[in-house]
Chains A and B, each alone.
Chain A
Amino acid sequence: MNADLADPNWAYVWPAYGLAAIAMISLVAWTMRRQSLWAARAKRLEEDR
């Protein structure tokens, strides 16, 4: 490991990675939820026909 975790600049590094993680996880969750929701509705319509 090459990181010096005692360096005060980690106060900027952690929030950058935290924000990236929150943004990416939220984007994935929103996209997948939207896709599965509409896929389920389309499937239900197909079955009704």
Chain B
Amino acid sequence: MLTRYANPERFMRLSRWALPVTAVTAVALFAIGLPWGLFFAPPDYQQGETVRIMFVHVPSSSLALGVFTFMGAASLMGLVWGHTLAHVAARAAAPVGAVYAGLSLLTGSLWGAPTWGTWWEWDARLTSMLVLFLTYLGYLALHAAIPERDRAARLAAVLCLAGLINVPIVKFSVDWWSTLHQPASLLREGGASIHPDLLWPLLINALAFLFAFIALTLAGMRAEIFQRRVEAASMRQARAAA
């Protein structure tokens, strides 16, 4: 089935309608989730009003990990089966993941200042998330530094697969080490430990971030495919002229 969708022509036909559908869904979910979290969800009994930062921080953090895992799977497919579209997908997802990881660090810092009394701590969760953010930047820098697209894609895929080792470290750092960051409260054994009044807006915002990622990745992939077509045509023209 994956091979069927690895065809760029088929992808362009599919993404033509999937892109507006996912983009509109993301906007609708943000329009519900953000005001709900910002104004209508109750304040937390311990964190007070600062709990509202969680509606941006938790989805961006989870998706930063999810996007990197997606990039790892795409990179593996690109390396093993040589599907160009898989490399294109990984490359298109990277800026979205980088922004999510950056947002996670910044909003986490804004939450930490009033809650922990510090903007930053070299804590296992915070440090491993910073490493993930830097890996995203390294991946993008590697793509930008190598002009030959296929070589850049292969090398970046290797970097991505090596960077995957950090994903479980970020996720389980709060269980493996004694950290300032609290343990998981959403994806944990025994179910979520958050009151439904806070859980629902959180889930809606998480879905909004997810659909935004899908829409932005589809748009990025379309841009990359158009760019490859233009470059291939320009090379053909140059060769014909010579």
Complex contact B219–A32 (CB within 8 A): yes
A34 to B131 alpha-carbon distance, docked (Å): 28
User: Is B95 located at the chain interface by the 8 A CB criterion?
Assistant: yes
- Answer whether A27 and B99 are a contact pair too, CB < 8 Å, given A1-B39, A12-B50: yes
- Return A48 CB to nearest CB of chain B, in Å: 9
Listed by A's residue number, 24 A-B pairs whose Cβ atoms lie within 8 Å are A2-B43, A4-B49, A9-B48, A9-B50, A12-B53, A12-B114, A13-B53, A13-B110, A15-B110, A16-B107, A19-B106, A19-B110, A20-B56, A20-B107, A24-B99, A27-B99, A31-B95, A31-B216, A34-B219, A35-B219, A35-B222, A35-B226, A41-B230, A45-B230
Consensus secondary structure, chain B interface: helix
- Return A44 CB to nearest CB of chain B, in Å: 9
Complex contact A16–B223 (CB within 8 A): no
Interface members, chain B 83-113 (any A CB < 8 Å): 95-96, 99, 102-103, 106-107, 110-111, 113
Q: How many A-B residue pairs have CB under 8 A?
A: 102
A7 to B48 alpha-carbon distance, docked (Å): 9
A38 to B222 alpha-carbon distance, docked (Å): 9
A29 to B220 alpha-carbon distance, docked (Å): 11
How many residues does chain A have at the interface if contact means C-beta atoms less than 8 Å apart? 30
A31 to B39 alpha-carbon distance, docked (Å): 30
- Answer whether A17 and B39 are a contact pair too, CB < 8 Å, given A38-B223, A39-B226, A42-B230: no
Partner-B contacts on A (CB < 8 A): 1-4, 7, 9-10, 12-13, 15-17, 19-20, 23-24, 27-28, 30-32, 34-35, 37-39, 41-42, 45, 49
Consensus secondary structure, chain A interface: helix
Of chain B, the residue at the smallest CB distance from A42 is B226
Of chain A, the residue at the smallest CB distance from B216 is A31
User: Is B5 located at the chain interface by the 8 A CB criterion?
Assistant: no
Partner-A contacts on B (CB < 8 A): 34, 38-43, 48-50, 52-53, 56-57, 60, 95-96, 99, 102-103, 106-107, 110-111, 113-114, 212, 216, 219-220, 222-224, 226-227, 229-230, 233-234
Complex contact B113–A12 (CB within 8 A): yes
- Answer whether A23 and B95 are a contact pair too, CB < 8 Å, given A7-B49, A9-B48, A13-B52: no
Q: Which residues of A contact B60 (CB under 8 A)?
A: 20
- Return A43 CB to nearest CB of chain B, in Å: 9
Q: Which residues of B contact A34 (CB under 8 A)?
A: 219-220, 223
A13 to B179 alpha-carbon distance, docked (Å): 24
